[in-house]
Amino acid sequence: MSDYYFKTSDLSVGYNGNALINDINVELSKGQIMTLIGPNGSGKSTILKSISNHLKTIAGTVYIDEKSLSDLSYKDVSTRMAVVLTERPKVELMTCRDVVATGRYPYTGRLGILSAEDNEKVDAAIKLVNAEEIAERDFTATSDGQRQRVMLARAICQEPEIIILDEPTSFLDIKHKLELLDILRMMVETKNIVVIMSLHEIDLAQKASDIIMCVKGDHISQLGTPRDIFTKESITRLYDLDKGNYNNYFGSVELPAPVGEPDTFVIAGAGTGIGIFRELQKKKIPFYAGVLHTNDLDYQVALDLAAEVVSAQAFENITEEEYKKAEELMKKCSKVIYSGVEFGTTNRANKRLLEEAKMLGKELPDAERIGR
């Protein structure tokens, strides 16, 4: 018996018989989250609609527990799979609790009458997504973010083995984005389900997912673990980044470095320079940075934003050669910004660099830094 629960085999998806994306092959075990990432319009929603039976596939097969999706009855699918798409559900005269309760319909009789146990599961799902305060509110009178939480509660009380979500964090503030992803991770771990979703926030996708599917053009450009996918090269290629850079150490992007001959030198380290680097970037002020150890937080951001970074080997004292290189760049500048980093054994040479900058009258008082 196979250890996967969800599988696609040579799947092609599209519209009106025309394939947009071909050769989709993936196997997922219970207890995994797979997230689709890629540019807008790349076909992420098309894939999700196709594997959830909302859109007819062009070719290939979708399997759930080794059974073809096309061979499963509507009831089989609805008890195994819950789907939360971006389209707003069309409901009238229903409270949020009523909408959540429709997740129990696959388990009720023809009259759709909920048992006491069904009602308990509806209430538990509402509580899990922190939607108690809107439970009795008219569903159509809720905000997009509230509606998103209600639809997640509906999926949860359906007790599926697979949850499919299309951009579930859209319209949510950061608090509710984190809550939603934490709920999904908790369900994956405690309920042993499969979650398949699409996200625009690649930093969240990196943190929440076990498998990443990169969708671009007419094919899946990459499929692998977050460690495999979230590299500067892969993300730059996937999104065709020509402005700014993806920083795989922070899982975030940096805007393009300022252009021009620097007249500013920044002495930083231990993360104290990151805010200064970004302020300089916003004001389009090119700068040098140093001396930064290669394992320093500041070093990773400086690589993207500084015109040149003077670096030192991790955990080693700054050498005289490295100091001289920084001193040479510092003397070319009329302004030196000190981030406030503390000096210790390995970066002691930077204290010497700062003292020289003060002697030359180059250090800017804090109130004058970056044009403030």
Of the residues 239, 263, 292, the one at which a domain ends: 239
Tell me the one-letter amino acid at 119.
Answer: N
- How far from 2 is each of 29, 67, 69, 218, 341, CA to CA, in Å? 9, 12, 17, 29, 55
Residues 306 and 230 in one domain: no
Confidence of residue 366 (pLDDT cuts 50, 70, 90): low
Task: Clarify whether residues 149 and 189 are in a common domain.
Answer: yes
pLDDT at 106: 84
- Checking if the pLDDT of 24 tops 50, the result is yes
CB burial string 294-309: b at 16+ within 10 A, e below? eebbbbbbbbbbbbbb
Cβ atoms 318, 346 nearer than 8 A: yes
pLDDT above 90 for 318: yes
CA distances from 46 to 17, 19, 81, 110, 318 (A): 13, 10, 17, 32, 54
Domain boundary among 173, 206, 239: 239
pLDDT, one tens digit per residue, over 247-260 is 888 888 889 999 99
Question: SS3 for 59?
Answer: strand
Q: For residue 163, what pLDDT band results from cuts at 50, 70 and 90?
A: very high
Is 61 part of any domain? yes
Percent share of the chain, pLDDT over 70: 96
Q: How many CB atoms lie within 10 A of CB 286?
A: 18
Residue 45: count of CB within 10 angstroms of its CB: 19
Per-residue pLDDT, 218 = 83
Cα distance from N-terminal residue to C-terminal residue, the chain: 67
Residue 244, domain member (yes or no): no
Tell whether 299 and 172 lie within a shared domain. Answer: no
Do 263 and 164 fall within a single domain? no
Write out the residue range of the structural domain in which residue 305 sits: 255-371
Phi first, then psi: give them for residue 208, nearest 5 degrees: -100, -15
Query: Is 247 part of a structural domain of the chain?
Result: no
The CATH number given to whatever domain includes residue 314 is 3.40.50.720
Average pLDDT of the chain is: 91
pLDDT one-digit tens code per residue, 348-362: 999 999 999 999 998
Do 70 and 174 sit in the same domain of this protein? yes
Encode pLDDT of 45-96 as tens digits.
999 999 999 999 999 999 999 999 989 988 888 889 999 987 767 777 899 9
Residues whose CB is less than 8 angstroms from the CB of residue 293 and which lie 6 or more positions away in sequence, other chains included: 269, 299, 311, 312, 313, 314, 315, 316, 346, 347
User: Do residue 24 and residue 108 come from a single domain?
Assistant: yes
In a domain, 249, yes or no: no
* Cα torsion angle, 74, 75, 77, 83, sign: positive
pLDDT of residue 60: 95
Q: Which residue has the higher pLDDT, 125 or 2?
A: 125
**Same domain? 297 vs 329:** yes
Say if residue 372's pLDDT is above 60: no
pLDDT digits (tens, 9 = 90+) for 188-230: 999 899 999 999 999 999 999 999 999 998 889 999 999 999 9
Give the model's confidence band at 370: pLDDT under 50 very low, under 70 low, under 90 confident, else very high: low
Number of domains in the chain: 2
Q: Based on the domain organization, do 107 and 44 belong to the same domain?
A: yes
The answer on 130 and 53 residing in a single domain is yes
For residue 92, the model assigns a pLDDT of 76
Tens of pLDDT along 102-157? 998 888 866 678 889 999 999 999 998 889 999 999 998 888 888 888 999 999 99
pTM: 0.87
- Predicted confidence at residue 271, as pLDDT, reads 94
Residue 310 and residue 213 share a domain? no
Report pLDDT for 244: 83
Q: Clarify whether residues 270 and 187 are in a common domain.
A: no
Domain for residue 96, yes or no? yes
CATH number for the domain harbouring residue 22: 3.40.50.300
Overall average pLDDT of the 339-368 stretch: 89
**Residue in 267, 316, 319 with CA at minimum distance from that of residue 289:** 267
283 & 141 share domain: no
Tokens of 125: 């799902």
In a domain, 278, yes or no: yes
